[in-house]
C-alpha cells in the first residue's frame, strides 16, 4: 500500500535494529484517513471470504480493525489485556508473550461475542514474532470459529512472525513489509540492495 509506505518513510522513527516507532499515525496519534484506506484495502483483499467478525487486541490494533469492520459492515471485537470487573459471563482466554516487552499477558474475549458460526479476520498493527495473532487464533479455535486470514498493517519481515503464522496454516496479508531497520533507516521488502 503506497500511501502507508510513504507515511512510514516520512514519519517512522527507527529506534534500533528491531523497533520502528510510528506514534505519529498509528500507535499514539492516529491518522484516521490513512486508517480508513487501510480498512478499505483489507476489505478489497478479503471481501469474497464471508467475514462475519474482525478480531484484534487492544490497544493499537483497534484503529485499523474498526476501519476494516466498517468496510465489511461487521462487528469489531477486541481482546482485552485485563479482565474487567464488568465481564461477568464466561470468556475465552490465551496467554500472549511479548518479546518486545518481555511480558506475558492473558488476553480475554467474552464467549457471547464469538461463536462457531463466525468467520474471522484477525487484524493487528505490527507483525513481529506473531505471538499476538497466534494467541487470537487460539481464541478463535476455542470458539470453534474459523480464522479466514490475518491482516497486518506493518510487517517486520526480518522477524519470524509470518513464518510462524503460515506454519500454523494462516493466510497472512501485510500492507507494508519492512525488510530491515539497519543503518538507522527503513528498507522495504523488494527495495533491498
Binding residues for ligand G4P (CB under 6 A) = 19-22, 27, 57, 59-61, 98-101, 125-132, 156, 161
Q: Which residue number, 118 or 155, has a Cβ lying nearer to ligand G4P?
A: 155
Residue 184 marked ligand-binding: no
Q: Which three cell numbers stand for residue 132?
A: 499476538
Question: Least CB distance from residue 57 to ligand G4P, whole Å?
Answer: 6
Residue 114 marked ligand-binding: no
Question: Least CB distance from residue 141 to ligand G4P, whole Å?
Answer: 17
Residue 137 marked ligand-binding: no
Residue 24 marked ligand-binding: no
Conformation bin of residue 99: beta by default, left when phi > 0, alpha when psi is -120 to 50: alpha
Q: Which residue number, 28 or 47, has a Cβ lying nearer to ligand G4P?
A: 28
Q: Which residue number, 39 or 161, has a Cβ lying nearer to ligand G4P?
A: 161
Residue 11 marked ligand-binding: no
Question: Least CB distance from residue 11 to ligand G4P, whole Å?
Answer: 12
SS3 string, the chain, reads CHHHHHHHHHHCEECCCCCEECHHHHHCCCCHHHHHHHHHHHHHHHCCCCCCEEEEECCCCHHHHHHHHHHHCCCEEEEECCCCCCCCCCEEEEEEEECCCCEEEEEEEEHHHCCCCCEEEEEEEEECCCHHHHHHHHHHHHCCCEEEEEEEEEEECCCCHHHHHHHCCCCEEEEEEEEECHHHCCEECCCCC
Question: Least CB distance from residue 101 to ligand G4P, whole Å?
Answer: 6
Q: Which residue number, 52 or 66, has a Cβ lying nearer to ligand G4P?
A: 66
Residue 183 marked ligand-binding: no
Neighbours of 187 (CB within 10 A): 16
Q: Which residue number, 6 or 144, has a Cβ lying nearer to ligand G4P?
A: 6
Question: Least CB distance from residue 133 to ligand G4P, whole Å?
Answer: 6
Q: Which residues are annotated as a binding site for xanthine?
A: 20, 27, 156
Q: Which residues are annotated as a binding site for 5-phospho-alpha-D-ribose 1-diphosphate?
A: 128-132
Q: Which residues are annotated as a binding site?
A: 20, 27, 128-132, 156
Amino acid at each position: 500500500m503506497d500511501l502507508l509506505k510513504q507515511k512510514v518513510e516520512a514519519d517512522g522513527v527507527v529506534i534500533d535494529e528491531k523497533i520502528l516507532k510510528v506514534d505519529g499515525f498509528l500507535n499514539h496519534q492516529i491518522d484516521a484517513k490513512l486508517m480508513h484506506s487501510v480498512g478499505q484495502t483489507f476489505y478489497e483483499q478479503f471481501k469474497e471470504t464471508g467475514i462475519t467478525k474482525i478480531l484484534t487486541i487492544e490497544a493499537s490494533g483497534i484503529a485499523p480493525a474498526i476501519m476494516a469492520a466498517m468496510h465489511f459492515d461487521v462487528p469489531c471485537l477486541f481482546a482485552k489485556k485485563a479482565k474487567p470487573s464488568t465481564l461477568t459471563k464466561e470468556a475465552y482466554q490465551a496467554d500472549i508473550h511479548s518479546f518486545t516487552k518481555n511480558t506475558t499477558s492473558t488476553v480475554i474475549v467474552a464467549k457471547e461475542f464469538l461463536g462457531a458460526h463466525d468467520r474471522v479476520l484477525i487484524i493487528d498493527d505490527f507483525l513481529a514474532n506473531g505471538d499476538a495473532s497466534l494467541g487470537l487464533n487460539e481464541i478463535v479455535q476455542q470458539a470453534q470459529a474459523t480464522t479466514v486470514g490475518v491482516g497486518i498493517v506493518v510487517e517486520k519481515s526480518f522477524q519470524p512472525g509470518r513464518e510462524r503464522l503460515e506454519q500454523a496454516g494462516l493466510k497472512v496479508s501485510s500492507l507494508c513489509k519492512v525488510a530491515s531497520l539497519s543503518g538507522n533507516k527503513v528498507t522495504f521488502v523488494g527495495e533491498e540492495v
